Amino acid sequence: QVQLQQSGPGLVKPSQTLSLTCAVSGVSISSDNSYWSWIRQPAGKGLEWIGRIHTRGFTQYNPSLQSRVTISRDTSRNRFFLSLTSVTAADTAIYYCAGIDASGFPFNHWGQGTQVIVSS
């Protein structure tokens, strides 16, 4: 059974960097033809895809956030990470990590979500 466990601070100061971790169990993030994504959801609003990392290690980002986002991974610990720089109040949201079983499918594995508030 695939499980995603998120961790990271829930409060980040403006202009600083938001950093989150997603630990994956039940499948290797470096095997098969799959993607591991970060998605966010401001309170009471819709879902915004942030970006993803492929099992081969290449990344793809939403152009709206590309200049501030880095998604990376640690295959030895089967984890992937989100880094979002220069945050503002507009980055306050619930952040989710998510995965798919194979390329060409939507998200069928989700982390529990992390509420991140940007405030001084």
Partner 1 sequence: DIVLTQSPDSLAVSLGERATINCKSSQNILSRPNNKSPVGWYQQKPGQPPRLLIYWASTRESGVPDRFSASESGTDFTLTISSLQAEDAAVYFCQQYSGLPLTFGQGTRVEIK
Q: Which residues bind partner 1 (CB under 8 A)?
A: 37, 45-49, 60, 62-64, 96, 98, 104-108, 110-113
The number of beta carbons lying within 10 Å of the beta carbon of residue 50 is 22
Distance CA 46, CA 103 (A): 23
Measured from the CB atom, the residue of 81 and 110 that comes closer to partner 1 is 110
Q: CB 4 → partner 1: shortest distance, Å?
A: 9
Mode of pairing for the β-strands spanning 59-61 and 48-54: antiparallel
In degrees rounded to 5, what are phi and psi of residue 18?
-85, 130
Give me the least distance between CB of 10 and partner 1, in Å please.
15
Residue 119 Cβ vs partner 1, minimum distance, rounded to whole Å: 21
For residues 36 and 97, is the Cβ–Cβ distance under 8 A?
A: yes
Give dist(CA 13, CA 119) in Å, integer.
5
CB nearer to partner 1: pick between 14 and 26:
26
Report the residue number, 16 or 70, with the smaller CB distance to partner 1: 70
**What is the smallest separation between the CB atom of 89 and partner 1, expressed in angstroms?**
21
Residue among 20 and 76 whose Cβ is closer to partner 1:
20
